[in-house]
Amino acid sequence: MKFHLYNRPGSGGFVVEAALVLAGADFELTEMDSKPGTPLPESFREINPWGQMPTLILPDGTTMTETAAILLHLTGCFPEAKMAPAPGTSAHGKFLRWMVFANVNLYEAVARRGYPFRYTDDEDGYEAIRSAAIQRMREALEVLESDIAGPFLLGDDMTIADVYVAMFYIWHRGDVDAPRLDALTDEVRTHPVVGPIWRRHFGDR
């Protein structure tokens, strides 16, 4: 049995695909014919009742959802790929901190910007929700910027957290002065393994 990733181009499933390739995992990719921000077919709820991407089917048939959870699981499945520091170390603690920070703050800001109707049933409030989400994302990116050890979040070695954060960074639609994040994102987009996946999902962004 192999992993089976359900994804769509340009979505957050990019980083799961990157993790699977970095790990050298045997996997099948099913790309949905729809764009991020548009509804998925109702039939997809048979695979993921929450109706969101990405969804990963593990080799034993178990369904995994939630990007951060999937990534953390894959780092444990493939420790030899060194997508995360060794568990129990302070570096691993920092890695977990930024993985959860990105998921709770950056991903949530993207969701509020793209799906304001999930947060209010008053259409007149949509733009205010979007504006607040963009501001919140900028603030979260500034926190990350101030802590980057360089060239990556934890220092010299890239982890899957760097790939995750770089994805959010290019999704930000406001201005932010973040030369360290610029450099980190350049490292990710030009990585020999991640780079081709990046270009397929995001082009030259």
Contact indicator for 136, 203 with CB cutoff of 8 Å: no
The H or E element containing residue 136 is helix 126-147
Claim: this prediction has a pTM higher than 0.75: yes
- Every domain of the chain with CATH number 1.20.1050.10 lies at 90-191
- 119 Cβ contact partners less than 8 Å away, ≥ 6 residues apart: 112, 129
Mean pLDDT over residues 63-68, rounded? 96
For residues 102 and 96, give the distance between their C-alpha atoms in angstroms, rounded to a whole number: 10
Tokens of 60: 């034993």
Task: Provide mean pLDDT across the span 19-29.
Answer: 98
Q: Which CATH superfamily is domain 3-81 in?
A: Glutaredoxin (3.40.30.10)
CATH of 90-191, one of 1.10.150.250, 3.30.420.40, 3.30.460.80, 1.20.1050.10: 1.20.1050.10
| pLDDT exceeds cutoff 90 at 52 | no
pLDDT over 90 (residue 38): no
Q: What is the pLDDT of residue 39?
A: 76
Q: How far apart are CA 96 and CA 160, in angstroms?
A: 11
- Alpha-carbon gap, residue 45 to 51, rounded angstroms: 5
Q: CATH 3.40.30.10 in the chain, residues?
A: 3-81
Residue 46 has pLDDT above 80, yes or no: yes
Position 31 scores a pLDDT of 92
